[in-house]
Amino acid sequence: MVRHKEFDPDVALDRAMEMFWERGYEATSIQDLVEGMGIGRRSLYDTFGDKHQLFMQSLDRYAGTQDARLRALADSARSGRDGIRDLLSVVLGPDAHLKGCLLANVATEVAARDSQAAQSVEHYMVRTREIMLDMVRRGQNDGTITDRVKPEALTSMLVNAWLGLRLSVRSGVDRKRLRKDIDEIMSLLD
């Protein structure tokens, strides 16, 4: 007789993602995952594979969620400039507490020694850069962003500034400072 899962794999994966996001890969043990996900050890292995496979699934879940969120911000913005501000302001949102960006955290914690994690971070950054470049081009076309600088150069600066903001959140920089930083970054688009 086949046993049916007594848990929702999507909910369990979200819980694992949260744990990796809060604690990091190295500091999250299998026992932590079993307890935090609310499932048995055997169910964890049968459903998600080993810790690393679960970690990679968590990164994919996070990247997919963030891609959709950033694309929605870009699509709903009144102008390219507003889209850039909206994207940068994600760091001020309610879910931007001291965890920072999971993929930025992974880039600094494990990507140097984990080629699969590094590849996941790289794919996410390529997609983020594409969204940002679309917004810069839109802003240059609608006149809200300077056209004196090539869109690719502005995008490189903005992506690096965006990463810096995400890491600042992780290190505990206060919201007032982050708002000021965003205003200063935006002034570079004039």
Tell me the per-residue pLDDT of 154-169, one tens digit each, with 9 for 90 and over.
999 999 999 899 888 8
**Token pair 């969120």 is at which residue?**
69
Nearest to 131 by CA among 72, 173, 48, 50: 72
Q: What is the pTM of this model?
A: 0.83
User: Do 80 and 42 contact (CB within 8 A), yes or no?
Assistant: no
Judge: domain 62-187, CATH 1.10.357.10. Answer: yes
Q: CA 162 to CA 56: how far, in whole Å?
A: 23
**How many other β-carbons are positioned within 10 Å of the β-carbon of residue 133?**
17
pLDDT digits (tens, 9 = 90+) for 174-183: 889 999 999 9
Q: CA 177 to CA 155: how far, in whole Å?
A: 22
Mean pLDDT of the chain: 90
The alpha-helical segments, DSSP class H, found in 101-174 are 102-109, 115-142, 151-170
Nearest to 102 by CA among 25, 11, 10: 25
pLDDT digits (tens, 9 = 90+) for 85-139: 999 998 887 665 557 788 888 888 887 788 998 898 899 899 999 999 999 999 9
User: Do 98 and 172 contact (CB within 8 A), yes or no?
Assistant: yes
pLDDT digits (tens, 9 = 90+) for 25-49: 999 999 999 999 999 899 999 999 9
